[in-house]
């Protein structure tokens, strides 16, 4: 069993991290937690059976006092880097919310330290473990639709999920804590899914990102075109600016067919160009939550030496895509993505 220290007790912990840790409590023991908000410490401490004396106000005290194998970081974006650096210095592997840091340089420094210390950093690309996406990636790599050349991702909503009332429910709208808006928060997930489904890194990005229809202090609408190393294209549209919501679209077009997520009442549909027909394979949801599956993969990596759910390079590349998108929008030109 691995001893885990949890840093953060907000909404994401309540709906994602805590259920995963409860489901895997025979493998990942929550030995301690830290959060500056006393109500969050009490609520999450009770939920995860963490004794009061191991509920810390300051995460640094937790790192100093506890012997931990893994630290799980679920705090606002701008806090990730420093907490992660401190946790690696304390000798722990990491599970952390995205992004790894707000700058590519900070992320590189953090990964360099982790690799020097022999520590694994697992950034929560949890949609890779959502069964329809996982099956779509498997099908693409098996050649089910030929060579993929275009990924289309559209997710238009009316806003972000609020944080807990007792801490800072609107931290996503605080540039000092969020570090960015919908492109950094929602666009990040789309970016790593596009890379996985195309099976190729991104070489260039062109984007338009801004605050169009709200009074948010961060960007509320983003549209980007990614060019992959294979010359394949991915189109991403993300917004917090549309209260009516929009149709969720995630499709992969290949030379021999199409894969569509949430198609015609099914989790996944496959269209054959040859037969001109749709089919809907049965998808087994082995886990109720993609968080559970991701945390389980982390355990398998750390305990048995299995491949990590997300490599350091994959996490860094996703941040490079997001950074290139912001730069491309600011400059009005095509921005290259670091190799």
Classify strands 233-239 and 148-156 as parallel, antiparallel or unpaired: parallel
| Helix pair 104-117, 80-89: axis angle to 10 deg | 10
Give residues with Cβ within 8 angstroms of 240, minimum separation 6: 157, 158, 159, 160, 181, 182, 186, 214, 216, 220, 221
Rg (CA), the chain: 20
Output the average pLDDT for the chain: 96
Q: Where do the H-state alpha helices sit in the chain?
A: 11-12, 18-23, 38-47, 59-65, 80-89, 104-117, 131-141, 175-178, 182-198, 290-304, 312-331
Q: Given this model, what pLDDT does residue 226 score?
A: 98
Distance of CA 335 to the CA centre of its chain: 23
183-203: per-residue pLDDT in tens? 999 999 999 999 999 999 999
Q: What is the pTM of this model?
A: 0.96
245: exposed, middle or buried (Cβ count in 10 Å: 0-12, 13-18, 19+): exposed
What percent of the chain clears pLDDT 90, i.e. is strictly above it? 94
Say what the alpha-carbon torsion angle 176, 178, 181, 183 is, to the nearest 10 degrees: 120
All structural domains of the chain with their residue ranges: 2-123, 127-336
- Determine the pLDDT at residue 339: 57
Q: What would the pLDDT profile of 95-119 be if each residue is shown by its tens digit?
A: 999 999 999 999 999 999 999 999 9
> Are 298 and 95 within 8 A, CB to CB?
yes
Q: What is the CATH number of domain 2-123?
A: 3.40.50.720
Q: Is the peptide bond before 99 cis (omega within 30 degrees of 0)?
A: yes
- Structure confidence at residue 212 (pLDDT): 97
Q: Check if the beta carbon of residue 180 is closer than 8 Å to that of residue 310.
A: no
127-336 — its CATH code?
Answer: 3.30.360.10
């Amino acid at each position: 069993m691995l001893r885990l220290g949890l840093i953060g007790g907000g909404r994401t912990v309540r709906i994602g991290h805590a259920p995963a840790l409860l489901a895997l409590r025979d493998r990942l023991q929550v030995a301690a937690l830290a959060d500056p908000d006393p109500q969050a410490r009490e609520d999450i401490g009770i939920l995860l059976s963490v004794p009061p004396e191991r509920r810390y106000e300051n995460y640094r005290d937790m790192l100093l006092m506890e012997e931990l194998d893994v630290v799980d970081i679920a705090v606002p974006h701008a806090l990730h880097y420093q907490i992660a650096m401190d946790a690696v210095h304390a000798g722990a592997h990491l599970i952390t919310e995205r992004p790894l840091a707000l700058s590519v340089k900070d992320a590189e420094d953090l990964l360099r330290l982790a690799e020097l210390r022999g520590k694994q950093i697992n950034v929560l690309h949890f949609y890779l473990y959502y069964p329809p996406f996982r099956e779509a990636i498997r099908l693409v790599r098996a050649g089910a639709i030929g060579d993929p050349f275009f990924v289309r991702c559209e997710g238009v909503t009316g806003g972000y999920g609020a944080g807990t009332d007792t801490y800072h429910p609107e931290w996503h709208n605080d540039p000092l804590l969020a570090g960015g808006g919908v492109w950094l928060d929602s666009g990040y997930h789309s970016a790593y899914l596009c890379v996985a489904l195309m099976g190729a890194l991104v070489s260039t990005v062109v984007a338009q990102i801004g605050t169009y229809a709200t009074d948010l202090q961060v960007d509320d609408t983003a549209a980007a075109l990614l060019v992959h190393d294979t010359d394949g294209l991915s189109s991403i549209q993300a917004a917090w600016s549309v209260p009516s919501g929009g149709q969720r679209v995630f499709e992969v077009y290949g030379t021999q067919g199409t894969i569509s997520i949430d198609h015609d009442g099914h989790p996944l549909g496959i269209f054959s160009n040859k037969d001109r027909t749709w089919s809907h394979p049965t998808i087994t949801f082995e886990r109720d939550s993609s968080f559970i599956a991701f945390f389980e993969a982390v355990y398998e990596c750390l305990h048995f030496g299995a491949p990590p759910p997300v490599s350091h390079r994959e996490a860094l590349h996703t941040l490079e895509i997001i950074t290139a998108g912001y730069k491309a929008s600011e400059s009005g030109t095509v921005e290259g993505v670091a190799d």
